[in-house]
Chains A and B, each alone.
Chain A
Amino acid sequence: MQTLLEMVGICKSFPGVRALDKMSFDLFEGEVHALVGENGAGKSTLMKILSGLYLADEGEIRLRGKKIVVTGIRQMIDAGISVIYQELNLIQHLSVAENIFLGREPRYAGGFINWKKMYADVDRLLKPFNVDIDPRAKILSIGPAFQQVVEIAKALSLKADIIVMDEPTAPLTGNEVERLFEMINALKKSGVSIIYISHRLEELARVADRVTIIRDGSMIVTKPLSELNTEEIIRHMVGRHLSEQYPVAEIPVGAEVLRVEALTKKGVCSDVSFSVRKGEIVGFTGLVGAGRTEIMQLIYGYLKRDSGKVFIDGKETTIRNPRDAVLKGIGLIPEERKKQGLVLGLSVFDNSALTILDKFSRFGLLRMKTIGDLVRGMVAKMEIKTPTIRQQVRYLSGGNQQKVVLSKWFVRNCKVYIFDEPTRGIDVGAKVEIYKLMQNLALQGAAVIMVSSELLEIMNMSDRIEVVFSGRIVKEFKKGEASSEDVMEYALGLHSRAS
């Protein structure tokens, strides 16, 4: 195999942080090379240097053996490097074709856009992938999976021979992931090299040829995937042996706290019933789009339900909006941390105190000292890494940000905690801490609901597993009752009759 790209001795510092320290990385022609490491290990910085967004302080980049002097993004795109970011860079109100050819629209001599050619070109680009996307469709009308295909098509239209994919499977459901893998294989066959960044280690075996593990800004190991197992990868990532990725705890189960009966909303979910007891962790799994998040938002009053009842401590309650839910003792840790869980520009203190200001007012004035003590105590207890509680949360790492979201609810002492994808995009070390915090809540007598797409997490953390398919709970498993394969079969809808 020919070496296509080499990055040697790359160093990059930001004020106060050394993000990359003599990092090296190479890529063969036509290979899928996985880049793994904890959050903050330096993956994104390395890719930003490769894309021309950042300039390296030291080191060089060689493409086909020739050293290139990086001047900016444009130059790297011209050199055939395309980066598909986690937050896809598509314009929602423009069509598929317009997005692919943005700024490079085929034109007639008079300057008018040649739509016919544009649509034909898109069809030609999409053909190898065997997907049915209308080039005229607006981006917002197609799902995340297709949006990713559009990004890939855009990269190909730019004649990219190196494509970087950052957590490409994060927004995808099981079968969409399968299709992405097929596409990656097709790309590989056509000679495109792919740098694949993912937190989902179990995926790597499916796609990657080689793996580079990066830690604290340096390359730890680069090896063919066949020579590494998951445990070794995790060990290299965290630099310590992580024997207890899923902590075990014996938690006594008490009385029923939350009961949901026949929750229904047209087009979202129907006839959803379940209950959660004191000290229990109930896991909700299913494909993305099955309606798990929406079910939680219906309970929480963020979406309006058509019918169904919610009982707390055995009493029926009306929840019309999140305010009602919070007053009734429910806390929601939402799926999208930055968009729904945090106010990024405000401090750790302000974010954590957001839910309790109504409890600590006297004559309209806030009891700042009491609130401050409470928040400080919580920050210490949860080991949130921040210089001071006045620090804006935007500067914290993903794991610490998530802890701030949790602390916001912990200070309020809820009866029911709903965690929606609590460990998404969080590094392994922080995940374990979050699992422990969840168990602690259960131990203190809270009822916990965890929505997650990560099967292993669901299998290991839940006392009961509710499998959601197409807006219904299709199966309930008790802990240890089922294998991952069993759960997956129900999540894929293999056991539910068409209705």
Chain B
Amino acid sequence: MKFNLRNTLKNYGIVIAFLIICALLAFMSPVFFTLNNMILVIRQTSIYGIMAVGMTFVILTGGIDLSVGSILALSGAICAGMLKSGMPLPLVLALTMAVGLGCGLFNGLVITVGRITPFVVSLGMMSIARGITLIYTKGYPISGFQPEFRFIGGGYVFGVPVPIIIFLGIVLIAFVVLTQTRLGRYTYAIGGNEETVKLSGINAGFFKSLAYVIAGLTASISALISTSRLNSGGPQAGIGYELDVIAAVVIGGTSLNGGRGSIWGTFVGALMIGVINNGMNLLGISSYFQLVVKGFIIIGAVLLDRLREQAD
């Protein structure tokens, strides 16, 4: 096959951009390419990387979920509260995930049964979940947990940090689900043309709701890692995370119109965000300025996506 620059850029553009950024950072900062820093980047990436996996399902259906940051905060706070009350760890983990799942189910049902746009519903949920978190915590963080729980965010298995293992595991599961199950194939189809899916005798509403359930579930899994790692669950957790999460998905090439994208794209997109965050920290760029940069990156990614769609 002939080498085609345009197609190569189209298909591997993110990977190439990612490598270029890594190379640049390696030049600009001596710390960047150390093993310790690499592990740090991936470990930090795993928190919103996991959420980005859930978000990929939602965006593939053509929707959006702005509430994932708040769901993370709520699940984290409730998790922290339950740990403090001395509940057994497995039960705490299960109930924490149930919180995320429940929030996602609420989103999904209101969107599909109530026929309200995902933007509005998840914007509402963003406020609801944040509010409940504040009520529950009375505004103060809940801190100090047993070592078994702290293992989730801080432990290692064969030298690999646990969050990274969880992240990779979830990416792998999502890959299988998206390519090898009904849920995955319907997710793409719904994003492509929901009416066709309905007329093909598929309960589109059900599968669409599941995307939000998955987004909620992944947010609560991230909450477990984040709460464990910070040794604290609080009302300030996850603020603005939806930005990084959506950015990761979009940079990964998933179309905001739905129907097109991949989990590997999201994986690279999440790493990219992680590297950019890390790089800016290493270069001593202020966090205020970082926000501006990330905003532009999101807009740029969507712009690129549009150009790509036009080229087709």
Question: Of residues 341 to 389 in A, which have CB atoms within 8 Å of B's CB atoms?
Answer: 341-346, 350, 353-355, 357-358, 361, 364-366, 368
Are A355 and B200 in touch, CB under 8 angstroms? yes
Cβ-based interface call for B294 (8 A): no
Q: Which segment of B154-162, B186-194, B212-220 sits at the interface?
A: B186-194
Cβ-based interface call for A323 (8 A): yes
Other-chain residue from B176, B192, B201 in contact with A355 (beta carbon distance below 8 A):
B201
CB-CB nearest in chain B for A326: B201
Are B200 and A354 in touch, CB under 8 angstroms? yes
Chain B interface size range: 20 to 34
Cβ-based interface call for A312 (8 A): no
Are A344 and B192 in touch, CB under 8 angstroms? yes
Chain B residues closer than 8 Å to A302, beta-carbon distance: 198-199
Question: Of residues 62 to 92 in B, which have CB atoms within 8 Å of A's CB atoms?
Answer: none
- Tell me the bound Cα distance from A357 to B196 in angstroms: 15
Cβ-based interface call for A408 (8 A): yes
Are B199 and A346 in touch, CB under 8 angstroms? no
Chain B residues closer than 8 Å to A334, beta-carbon distance: 199
Chain A residues closer than 8 Å to B197, beta-carbon distance: 343, 354
Q: A357-B185, A366-B180 are in contact. Are A323 and B193 (CB under 8 A)?
A: no
Chain A interface size range: 20 to 34
Cβ-based interface call for B182 (8 A): yes
Other-chain residue from B185, B193, B200, B260 in contact with A339 (beta carbon distance below 8 A):
B193
Are B203 and A357 in touch, CB under 8 angstroms? no
Cβ-based interface call for B104 (8 A): no
Residue-wise, chain A 288-321 has the 8 Å CB interface mask toward B (1 for contact) of 0000000000001010000000000000000001
Are A322 and B196 in touch, CB under 8 angstroms? no
Chain A residues closer than 8 Å to B180, beta-carbon distance: 365-366, 368
Cβ-based interface call for A1 (8 A): no
Are B189 and A346 in touch, CB under 8 angstroms? yes
Chain B residues closer than 8 Å to A350, beta-carbon distance: 185, 188-189
Chain B residues closer than 8 Å to A341, beta-carbon distance: 196, 199
CB-CB nearest in chain B for A301: B201
Are A354 and B260 in touch, CB under 8 angstroms? no
Chain A residues closer than 8 Å to B199, beta-carbon distance: 300, 302, 322, 332, 334, 340-341
Cβ-based interface call for A109 (8 A): no
Smallest beta-carbon distance B106→chain A, Å: 23
Other-chain residue from B192, B193, B200, B260 in contact with A322 (beta carbon distance below 8 A):
B200
Cβ-based interface call for A494 (8 A): no
- Tell me the bound Cα distance from A340 to B195 in angstroms: 6
Smallest beta-carbon distance B283→chain A, Å: 40
CB-CB nearest in chain B for A354: B200
Cβ-based interface call for B181 (8 A): yes
CB-CB nearest in chain A for B184: A366
Cβ-based interface call for B259 (8 A): yes
Q: A339-B195, A340-B195, A366-B182 are in contact. Are A408 and B189 (CB under 8 A)?
A: no
Are B181 and A345 in touch, CB under 8 angstroms? no
Cβ-based interface call for B165 (8 A): no
Cβ-based interface call for B24 (8 A): no
Smallest beta-carbon distance B191→chain A, Å: 8
Other-chain residue from A323, A327, A339, A354 in contact with B189 (beta carbon distance below 8 A):
A354
Are A327 and B201 in touch, CB under 8 angstroms? yes
The CB with the most chain B CB atoms within 10 A, among A302, A342, A343, A368, is that of A343
Are A342 and B196 in touch, CB under 8 angstroms? yes
Smallest beta-carbon distance A349→chain B, Å: 10
Are B193 and A343 in touch, CB under 8 angstroms? yes
Cβ-based interface call for A450 (8 A): no
The CB with the most chain A CB atoms within 10 A, among B192, B201, B202, is that of B201
Smallest beta-carbon distance B275→chain A, Å: 30
Chain A residues closer than 8 Å to B181, beta-carbon distance: 361, 364-366
Chain A residues closer than 8 Å to B203, beta-carbon distance: 321, 323
Are A354 and B202 in touch, CB under 8 angstroms? yes
CB-CB nearest in chain B for A327: B201
Chain A residues closer than 8 Å to B196, beta-carbon distance: 339-343, 354
Cβ-based interface call for A325 (8 A): yes
Smallest beta-carbon distance A481→chain B, Å: 33
The CB with the most chain A CB atoms within 10 A, among B186, B193, B200, B202, is that of B200
Smallest beta-carbon distance A273→chain B, Å: 24
Are B198 and A322 in touch, CB under 8 angstroms? yes
Q: A343-B193, A343-B196 are in contact. Are A353 and B201 (CB under 8 A)?
A: no
- Tell me the bound Cα distance from A9 to B105 in angstroms: 61
Q: A343-B196, A364-B181, A366-B181 are in contact. Are A323 and B201 (CB under 8 A)?
A: yes
- Tell me the bound Cα distance from A365 to B175 in angstroms: 12
Q: Which 3 A-B pairs have the closest CB atoms?
A: A326-B201, A343-B192, A343-B193
13 contacts between A and B (CB under 8 A): A300-B199, A321-B203, A322-B199, A326-B201, A340-B196, A341-B196, A342-B193, A343-B192, A345-B192, A345-B259, A357-B185, A364-B181, A365-B176
